[in-house]
A and B are shown apart, each in its own frame.
Chain A
Amino acid sequence: MQARVVATGSAAAREEVRRALTGRRADWRSVVFHGVLLLTLLVALVVLLVLLADVARAAIPVLQERGGEFVSSGTSSLPVRAGIKQGLIGSAFLMLFVAVLSFPLGIGAAVYMEEYAKDTGFTRFVNTNIRNLAGVPAIVYGILGLALFVGLLGDVVGPGSVAGRSLLAGGLTISIMVLPIIIITTQEALRAVPRSIREGGFGVGATRWEVIRSHVLPNAAPGILTGTVLSMARALGETAPLIMVGAVTGFFVAQGGPGEQLQERFTSMPTLIFAWTKKPQPEFQDLAAAAILVLILAVFLVNLAAILLRNRYERRW
């Protein structure tokens, strides 16, 4: 090899070293391996695109023909008259339940576990328990709702003809189901706040709650918010527990004001889709596709919000 002078640190030197080490050959096996790995990720993208295209193909004619009327009509046995109004209302109510019940409880539990509890056997037991709850299949939560709210508390949550199969029972069930997810994501957000922030608060004589309120929670807020927004998306798309608790898969007429509706029969977007998917008439398949397009756009929007939120506020300490 002939001696050559190349300034160290220059791009030319780097290239020289690289060539000497790789022997000037492109490493095809590495390239293929790299490509295969990238492909596994792109499969996810392709699936999403095909799914959207497939749904849209069946959905767009329906939405074009029915337009706003599809959104404003209720359930019906006739495909030309069936709409998603009650599904939308039901889903909105369910998300409201999660926001009102699960957020405060979940965040409270997480604050206790991270900020107050000492590392004892009991604390570890509670933590393991929460993690397990997050892994319990959704349908088992449905059975819980069926036994507890419909069976045991049926007279309270839905007296009269609905026999406990009310929106209240569904909302409580979904809230219990997403609670562990909210606790876990909030715990992670709290853990990411460095000790020094807390110590600053204690240093000026604040009590623990004052430190949490003024220092810890504001700093953990973006993480908590992201987690809770994702759990909303989960609540929006969940079906199995609602079917158990008796979300209506047929047709019904919703009556009364919002207060009375809580104790009435209900349906939700995913339940409606499930019901339409199972109907023999082909028109209902297209209706299901149209409802899916609406649902999926809602879920994606909620998710997008979470991702943007995280990217916007993500902070490294």
Chain B
Amino acid sequence: MAQASIERGGLTLEDLGGNRKRHRKERVVRRVFLTAALLSIAISVAIVASLAGGTIDYLSKVEFSQMLVMDWFPRRNEFGLPAILAGTLVVSLIAMVVAAPLGLGAALYLSEFAKSRSRRMLKPILETLASVPSVVMGFFALRFISPDIVQKLFGGAEFFNFLAAGIGVGLLVTPLVASVAEDAMHAVPSGLREASFGLGAKLRTTSLKIVVPAAVSGITAALILGISRAIGETMIVAIAAGGTGGSGFNLDPLRGGQTMTAAITSLATGSDRAAGSGAAVPSLYFVGMLLFFMTLGLNLFSERFVRRVRRRY
């Protein structure tokens, strides 16, 4: 049809529009892709919905005052949130003490100092570190960091301790911090650096006084993202921090205890799943909900920061 009208010399808009079959196919394809995209919203809804049921169950069974006691032993009817919050806080803090200097240092080196050849050799090291499975890092923390580093340095350290777990989490978070921070430093326009060099500044002064301040919101975002990841990390703490079944309130990094994530796993793996009060299993959903909203808040916050640094230049 189209062929015929072209031969006669009259080309209409309809000919250019292609045939109807192509358009129908186009619409179908578009709809399929839209469905895939909408699935992500369904997942978010499913997460909140699956957490909500157990959380409501838990809140109806446990008084708020019961959550303020110091110890977390759900099977003994002790739901002291301070215990697992303290564990999470201590481990995340130690993790960031490790990950912040290592990650930011590596980012600054890769972004400002490394030549493209050494960069291509050094970056895969960080990526390989990022790919170490968390059980493996947990095993390493328990079998090496705890006895050979922590216990050798600090005589009174227990075998299961927050310090070893925190160092393990920190090492796992380091590549994430490095990669986000490096993106931020990379986004600083080279005009700023050249202006600094032009005034006779050294590479060290330029990177510390020009690049780092200019990328500060991206760097902050990297650190917040790191904290969020450290809070959510499960296997390392479940393996190296001890506290199976529950734990008392403990802020001492040389002793063990339980974090929010480890509390969830130990509830799920415990063989006496049915034992204890009826609120033990629902408490797992409640802790999950807390964890979800804590990391959600941190992620949203760091997302804002990243967008701000991008808009500036």
Contacts and interface: CB of A to CB of B under 8 A. Distances in A.
A132 B300 contact: yes
Interface in A121-161: 126, 128-133, 135-144, 146-148
A3 interface: no
Contacts of A240: 134, 234-235, 238, 261, 265
Interface residues of A, number: 89
Nearest to B144: A54
A289 B103 CA distance: 28
Contacts of A207: 18, 22-23, 25-26
Contacts of B305: none
Contacts of B138: 274, 277
B133 A296 contact: yes
Given A43-B102, A44-B126, A289-B139, 16 more contacts: A30-B203, A34-B113, A36-B105, A108-B33, A133-B43, A135-B228, A136-B47, A136-B296, A179-B43, A207-B23, A237-B133, A240-B134, A277-B138, A289-B143, A296-B132, A300-B131
10 contacts: A108-B36, A135-B229, A139-B232, A143-B50, A209-B29, A239-B235, A277-B142, A292-B135, A300-B131, A307-B127
**Binding site secondary structure of chain A:** helix
Given A128-B303, A207-B22, A292 B136 contact: yes
Contacts of B25: 207, 209
B213 to A, nearest CB: 17
Contact of B128 (A38, A43, A48, A109): A48
Interface of A: 21, 27, 29-30, 33-34, 36-41, 43-45, 47-48, 50-51, 54-55, 58, 104-106, 108-109, 111-113, 115-117, 126, 128-133, 135-144, 146-148, 176, 179-180, 183, 205, 207-210, 230, 233, 236-240, 243-244, 249, 270, 273-274, 277-278, 285, 288-289, 292, 295-296, 299-300, 302-303, 307, 311
Contacts of A27: 202, 204
B92 to A, nearest CB: 12
A137 B134 contact: no
Contacts, number: 258
B83 interface: no
Interface residues of B, number: 90
B175 interface: yes
A53 to B, nearest CB: 10
Interface of B: 16, 18, 22-23, 25-26, 29-30, 32-41, 43-44, 46-47, 50-51, 53-54, 101-106, 108-110, 113, 120, 122, 124-129, 131-140, 142-144, 171, 174-175, 200, 202-204, 225, 228-229, 231-235, 238-239, 261, 264-265, 268-269, 284-285, 288, 291-292, 295-296, 298-300, 303
Contacts of B122: 41
A116 B26 CA distance: 11
A41 B105 contact: yes
Nearest to A107: B36
In order of increasing CB-CB distance, the 5 nearest A-B pairs are A137-B232, A237-B133, A40-B105, A147-B50, A108-B36
B37 A112 contact: yes
A137 B101 contact: no
A273 B44 contact: no
Contacts of A47: 129, 171
Nearest to A246: B268
A138 B231 CA distance: 11
A132 B200 contact: no
Contacts of B51: 140, 143-144, 147
